[in-house]
Amino acid sequence: MPNTIQSLNRIQFTGVAAAGTGAITVDTAIAQYETPASGGAVDQGKYKLLVIDGADWEISKSIYTSAGTTVSRVLIDSSTGSLLNLVG
């Protein structure tokens, strides 16, 4: 996989995050959308991720890991100036 950030279309899912700013475990697709796996994500692929928590948001560079179905988070931009501190 090239060292570039890829895009996937029609991906939207619920996630389970450990408390804090760590990786998010992919749960289920939102109706009419897909999970990263069903939408074509490849293991260790780099993708842009939008996380929304209430009125706050972040755009992150993420690495998708298929074994644990997780996405990591490295900040690109956010409404708070940092990664969102998600509740587990």
Average pLDDT score over residue span 30-56: 94
Q: Is the pLDDT of residue 78 over 90?
A: yes
Q: Enter the tokens of residue 65.
A: 């890991």
pLDDT band at 15 (very low <50, low <70, confident <90, very high): confident
Beta bridge partners of 28: none
Are the C-beta atoms of residues 43 and 67 closer than 8 Å to each other?
Answer: yes
- Predicted pLDDT at 1: 47
Write the burial class of residue 69 (CB in 10 Å: 0-12 exposed, 13-18 middle, 19+ buried). Answer: middle
Q: Which helix (H) or strand (E) holds 57?
A: strand 56-65
Cβ atoms within 10 Å of 10's Cβ, excluding its own: 11
Are the C-beta atoms of residues 13 and 26 closer than 8 Å to each other?
Answer: yes
